[in-house]
Amino acid sequence: MHSVGFDACGVVRAENLSDAKARFEEWLEGGGAYGLDYLTRNIDKRFDPTQLLEGAKSVIVGAVGYKNRFSGTYQPDFDARIASYALSTDYHTSLREMLRNVALGLGFDDPKRVKICVDSVPLAEKSFAQLAGIGWIGRNSLIINPTLGSFMVLGALVIPEECDEYSTPYESDGCVGCGRCLLRCPTGAIRPNRTINTALCISNRTIEVGTTDPFDTHGWVFGCDECQACCPHNATTPLFRNERFSPRVTPTDYDGNFWAKLTPEEGKKLFDGTPIVRKFKKQ
């Protein structure tokens, strides 16, 4: 996994995570999926890898650190902030290629024998990452690794083979005694029970759902890093190691005035190949 560019990894049995599914359904019943209709579909598959791949036996989970010089470093008055994960090549593309290389390295030449899961395939990646020993699920609802912090993206490979050894779940909770992210979140979107009120989350509103109703994005135009920027576990974590996550956009080149005038056609061209184009494809 490290040779293809992952920074942390682990392996979990392909079992149904019924407890995590119950918590997810409770969150959905409370209106958690605000505008994210895809979350209400394929719930069984999300927590049961055997429904994603016939004969699934193991789930290999990988994490890559993407922290860069814009992760939590914007000046307070900068009015066009972009979440730092979005500044490099779309991680869906990068992680899919990396996981394909892992599959090939394991001898799965036929892509139909495995399932690559990167967001677009429903899999509860954070729950599997915790079971794979990668980290704990923080109050900001993100996976936090003791070395890499939370500026990470996750991908998983479901395979039809048993592994010799499986990882030990990450059981410590590095959030005990801290609540900085709850205080820092500009919109109060983080609930005390470690779930996010997606209706209030700037990340959801600037990427997925839009802001046609009055909604203050607090200077963010795409995503939001506030609940990561303040996290003590991100203070000394290393910058990205994998060159695929090197920023190709310099967000401070574009201020709020620029964004206000940007047309969807211009945006698609300018940010081609990064996650940011998603914003313009919806317009």
Residues within the interface to ligand SF4 (CB under 6 A) = 138-140, 174-175, 178-181, 185, 187, 189-190, 196, 201-203, 224, 226-227, 230-233
Q: Say if residues 61 and 10 touch (Cβ distance below 8 Å).
A: yes
Nearer to ligand SF4, 121 or 276 (CB): 276
Task: Please state the closest distance from residue 251 (CB atom) to ligand SF4, in A.
Answer: 16
Q: What's the DSSP call for residue 231?
A: -
Nearer to ligand SF4, 6 or 151 (CB): 151
Q: How do 136-137 and 115-117 pair as beta strands?
A: unpaired
For the beta sheet containing 115-117, the strands, ordered from the edge strand earlier in sequence to the opposite edge, are 8-13, 58-65, 152-159, 115-117
Q: How do 81-82 and 8-13 pair as beta strands?
A: unpaired
Task: Please state the closest distance from residue 268 (CB atom) to ligand SF4, in A.
Answer: 24
Nearer to ligand SF4, 151 or 245 (CB): 151
Task: Please state the closest distance from residue 55 (CB atom) to ligand SF4, in A.
Answer: 37
Q: Say if residues 68 and 245 touch (Cβ distance below 8 Å).
A: yes
**3-state SS, residue 183:** helix
Task: Please state the closest distance from residue 117 (CB atom) to ligand SF4, in A.
Answer: 22
Task: Please state the closest distance from residue 44 (CB atom) to ligand SF4, in A.
Answer: 27
Dist. CA 60–CA 176, nearest whole Å:
28
**3-state SS, residue 136:** strand
CA proximity to 56, closest of 46, 44, 48, 65: 48
Q: Say if residues 160 and 171 touch (Cβ distance below 8 Å).
A: no
Task: Please state the closest distance from residue 223 (CB atom) to ligand SF4, in A.
Answer: 7
Residue showing tokens 């395979």: 159
